[in-house]
């Protein structure tokens, strides 16, 4: 037990029983009973035996682990413990009182009736003590469990984010390098630009490990570099279109999320079309949401259930960062177009 907790316990134990002794003295004076040294000594015996026996009972509770049990399992054990504590306290008190000649009442009673009467009196004191002690620790345990649960939830979310980020890496590096290699002799200037574009994407991917959100503008610039590299590979088979509301450029989004969705549009859509197709990126406000839409020519097929971890994790990642109102959905529209839609609630405090 921590030192401060032990000090606090003894402060409560002594002051509680001491206050009880004081109340008994005042009670006696109220009924015009003469306050004598004998009465004070008798009450001192009551207080001291109460402190000692309840302290021993407390040790039994702690060492037996009753504080860790559910209420329905702990209460029967506590009732038995209270009964035994009351009996032991009564026996000690009777022996001490008789040996010191401090008997105030019941001195002419037989031992058994006197033991029963004293045990009953003790029950009126020890039962409240037990209830206070147990439920104080029960409330403390519940509060600690709630704090531990909150800490665990925060840790889980942090680990989830790290796990998700660790999987979000560009899959097009080898294709991009092959494209750049082909340009080195054919178009050196374009090759140099392509190397810069690839460097920007890789740098952003590395920084994603450290950031929870980035501005949409920053993410869009990375996507433009990515699509420029892919255009080298697909040439006229890849058409790109943007419909961007400039007011959305400063909105926060998860890093590499847009790039991952566009990458999946290329991998599962454009690359599977003989004649290629179009990728369209839309960013606008819809009610109280920042709405991002990525459309690509093709069919849903493996885009929903394929090998793209990014699609499977996008919704969870959004809700971890922006709450349950954030959403992600991917569907097929117009027969030959796949649409991925992201809804991020707007921070009304801004």
Q: Could you give the count of Cα atoms lying within 13 Å of 36 in the half-sphere of its Cβ?
A: 8
> What number of other Cβ atoms are within 10 A of residue 33's Cβ?
12
Burial class (CB in 10 A: 0-12, 13-18, 19+), 345: middle
Domains contained in the chain, CATH given: 3-158 (no CATH), 168-345 (3.30.565.10)
**H/E run at residue 62:** helix 37-64
Strand (E) positions, 38-109?
none
Beta strands in the chain (DSSP E): 214-215, 238-244, 252-253, 277-286, 289-297, 327-333, 337-345
Q: How many helices (H) and strands (E) does the chain have?
A: 10, 7
Reference 264, options 160, 170, 151, 148; nearest CA is 170
- 279: nearest Cα among 223, 195, 201, 342: 223
C-alpha angle 45-46-50 in degrees, rounded to nearest 5: 110
3 state SS of 330: strand
- Whose CA is closest to 105, among 51, 53, 29, 38? 38
The pairing of beta strand 277-286 with beta strand 289-297: antiparallel
Rg (CA), the chain: 38
Per-residue pLDDT of the chain (350 residues; tens, 9 = 90+): 555 777 888 888 888 888 887 887 777 766 656 677 777 888 888 888 888 989 898 889 888 888 778 878 888 888 998 899 999 888 888 888 878 877 766 456 677 888 888 888 888 888 888 888 888 888 888 888 788 777 766 666 665 555 555 444 445 567 677 777 777 777 788 888 888 888 877 777 666 556 778 899 998 988 898 888 888 888 889 999 999 999 999 999 988 888 888 888 888 888 888 888 999 999 999 889 999 999 999 888 654 444 444 566 677 778 888 888 899 999 988 878 999 999 999 875 44
pLDDT at 249 (0 to 100): 94
Angle formed at CA 231 by CA 228 and CA 234, multiple of 5 degrees: 165
Q: Of the candidates 338, 192, 322, 197, which has an alpha carbon nearest to the alpha carbon of residue 254?
A: 322
C-beta of residue 169 within 8 angstroms of C-beta of residue 151: no
Between helices 309-322 and 257-268, what is the axis angle to 10°? 160
**What pLDDT does residue 163 have?**
54
3-state secondary structure of 65: coil
The 3-state DSSP composition of the chain as helix, strand, coil percent (nearest 5) reads: 70, 15, 20
> pLDDT value at position 1?
55
CA dist 216 and 257 (Å) reads: 10
Q: How would you classify the pairing of strands 277-286 and 252-253?
A: unpaired
pTM (whole model) above 0.75: no
């Amino acid at each position: 037990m921590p030192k401060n907790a032990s000090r606090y316990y003894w402060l409560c134990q002594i002051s509680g029983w001491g206050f009880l002794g004081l109340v008994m003295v005042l009670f006696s004076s109220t009924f015009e009973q003469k306050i004598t040294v004998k009465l004070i000594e008798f009450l001192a015996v009551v207080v001291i035996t109460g402190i000692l026996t309840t302290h021993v009972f407390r040790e039994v509770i702690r060492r037996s682990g009753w504080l860790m049990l559910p209420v329905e399992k702990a209460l029967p054990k506590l009732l038995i413990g209270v009964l035994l504590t009351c009996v032991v306290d009564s026996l000690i008190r009777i022996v001490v009182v008789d040996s010191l000649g401090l008997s105030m009442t019941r001195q002419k009673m037989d031992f058994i009736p006197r033991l029963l009467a004293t045990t009953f009196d003790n029950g009126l004191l020890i039962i409240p003590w037990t209830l206070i002690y147990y439920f104080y620790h029960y409330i403390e345990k519940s509060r600690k469990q709630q704090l531990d649960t909150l800490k665990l939830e925060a840790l889980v979310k942090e680990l989830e984010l790290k796990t998700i980020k660790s999987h979000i890496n560009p899959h097009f590096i080898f294709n991009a390098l092959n494209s750049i290699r082909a340009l080195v002799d054919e178009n050196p200037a374009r090759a140099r630009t392509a190397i810069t574009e690839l460097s920007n994407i890789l740098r952003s991917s590395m920084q994603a490990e450290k950031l929870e959100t980035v501005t949409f503008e920053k993410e869009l610039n990375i996507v433009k570099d990515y699509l420029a590299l892919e255009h080298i590979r697909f040439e006229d088979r890849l058409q790109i279109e943007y419909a961007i509301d400039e007011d959305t450029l400063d909105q926060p989004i998860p890093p590499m999320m847009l790039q991952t969705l566009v990458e999946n549009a290329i991998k599962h859509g454009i690359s599977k079309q003989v004649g290629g197709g179009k990728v369209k990126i839309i960013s606008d406000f819809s009610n109280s949401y920042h709405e991002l839409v990525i459309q690509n020519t093709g069919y849903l097929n493996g885009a929903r259930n394929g090998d793209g971890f990014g699609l499977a994790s996008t919704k969870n990642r959004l809700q971890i960062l922006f709450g349950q109102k954030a959403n992600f959905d991917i569907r097929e529209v117009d027969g030959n177009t796949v649409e991925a839609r992201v809804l991020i609630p707007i921070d009304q405090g801004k």
